[in-house]
Amino acid sequence: MHTLTKERFRYGKGITLIDDSGKEYLDGVSGTFNLSLGYNHPHVVTKVQEQVANLAHMSSSFTEPYVEEVLDHLIQYTPNGIDAGWMRDITGSTANECAVKLAQKYTGALDIISLYLSHHGQTQFATGISGNAFRRRKFPNSAAANSLHVPAPYCYRCPFNSSPDKCGYQCVEAISDAIEYASSGSVACMIIEPILGNGGNIIPPAGYFKRLRQLCNEYGLILIADEVQTGIGRTGYMFASELLDIQPDIITLAKGLGGIGVPVAAVLMQSRLNVLEKHEHSFTSGSNLISVTAAKATLEVVSEPGFLEAVRSKGSLLGTLLTEMADKHDCIIGEARGVGLMWGLEIVDEDNAPDAVKSNAIIDRAFAEQQLILRGSRYGYGNVVKVRPSLTATEDEIVEIVKRLDTVLTTLH
Ligand code: PMP
């Protein structure tokens, strides 16, 4: 288990954290992948400060006008006729619970299908619908009833020992089997991450989502895209669903929506699915004005002309540099994969097996190089090192992040 610092960080500036002694650390992972705009983006800081001074909170019975502004903004970018929303959550976990409730209430069906290695949150229910058992082993109640897990499209370690050119999407076909043989016979929805984030930065192969959409249509399943990690510009598009042509019925958001780390979440859906009553899903701090204001200000920045284009261009720089680095250290990195500013390095041993011990060493040594990076959580294979700087990182900072990683990898040969 890697051990990071006990020292206190005092300031955050751009993508840099500064500790008590003035030492600066470059953050290569945007906090917990949530600081889409870095630590102190002036527009968000100013708007939040003003809001706190004027009116930090009121009952969510009165926040509608504020929420509407954010939802209207988001809906300009949504695919597949998604034209309504709900903003009573402050975490991705409960946003996903909200999405499942919508699907269950709308369809009258119960079961939820998700992918192995997926992560949809840490409440008991969100843990239960997440596709890896590691987090719920000691909490039997988290093994959500009516939750079915199916193989992930992890081509690098294909569960069917095949490859995208010849597999015929066996991992999608396996979903039919799960529905036929393992479900209660009443399946409401399928929840996916467009790119499996914590599970290893896994990008499904071309055509996967088209086939998945067909399957959802065949069985009448609501398709939920959990864009908690991939949303709000992370892939160079407002939603990864647009980039990967996913056509979901519902999208969930959190993390990057708060810009500078303010907790906030949203659930976007087609109007037909907007079926919850307020008493069926709301929280004291849901649609809190600090959160909603941070989301509004963040969207104003991300939708400035040229902002997303710049993310794509910086993403392509990051991808080129990481791929070159992976070639140079091919005995440690099996694959560098990613899109936009969402990259992962598959850390392997000499037999190409997942090497989580080495990925921990990389994180520890990177910290010694004054750089923050993270790996996949200690579940699944846990060996994929993440590189996901804030969308506001400069090209120079991206070059520096890779340079420091390269130094670390050199020490591991
Ligand atoms: N979905 C995904 C894809 C996530 O990565 C996470 C958090 N890592 C969640 C949901 C849960 O979000 P939160 O921690 O805000 O509850």
* Assessment of whether the complete model's pTM goes beyond 0.95: yes
Q: How far is CA 211 from CA 111, 190, 328, in A?
A: 20, 13, 36
Q: 10 alpha carbon to ligand 1 midpoint, in Å?
A: 26
Note whether 4 and 367 are within 8 A (CB). Answer: yes
Contacts of 245 (CB under 8 A, 6+ apart): 79, 209, 210
Atom of ligand 1 nearest to the CA of 123: 16
Say how many C-beta atoms besides its own lie within 10 A of residue 290's C-beta. Answer: 20
Amino acid of residue 384: V
Note whether 99 and 250 are within 8 A (CB). Answer: yes
Atom 7 of ligand 1, residue of closest alpha carbon: 121
Q: 77 alpha carbon to ligand 1 midpoint, in Å?
A: 21
Q: 226 alpha carbon to ligand 1 midpoint, in Å?
A: 9
Atom 5 of ligand 1, residue of closest alpha carbon: 229
Q: 95 alpha carbon to ligand 1 midpoint, in Å?
A: 9
* Phi-psi group of 187: left, alpha or beta (phi > 0 → left; psi -120 to 50 → alpha; rest → beta): beta
Q: What is the pLDDT of residue 1?
A: 43
Atom of ligand 1 nearest to the CA of 93: 16
Q: 329 alpha carbon to ligand 1 midpoint, in Å?
A: 31
Residue 109's SS3 state is coil
Q: 23 alpha carbon to ligand 1 midpoint, in Å?
A: 30
Q: Distance from CA of residue 178 to its chain's centroid?
A: 25
Task: For residue range 186-200, list pLDDT tens digits in order.
Answer: 999 999 999 999 999
Q: What is the pLDDT of residue 144?
A: 67
Q: What is the pLDDT of residue 2?
A: 47
Q: 220 alpha carbon to ligand 1 midpoint, in Å?
A: 26
- Mutating to test ligand 1, I would choose from 97, 112, 115, 120 the residue with most ligand atoms within 8 A of its C-beta, which is 120
Residues of the chain with confidence (pLDDT) below 50: 1-2
Q: Which DSSP string do the residues of 329-371 spell out, in sequence order?
A: TTTTEEEEEEETTEEEEEEB-TTS-B-HHHHHHHHHHHHHTTE
ipTM of this model?
A: 0.99
Q: How far is CA 75 from CA 61, 225, 269, in A?
A: 22, 15, 9
- Ligand 1 pocket, CB under 6 A: 91-93, 96, 119-121, 193, 197-198, 226, 228-229, 254
Q: What is the pLDDT of residue 381?
A: 76
Token code pair at residue 180 = 């036929």
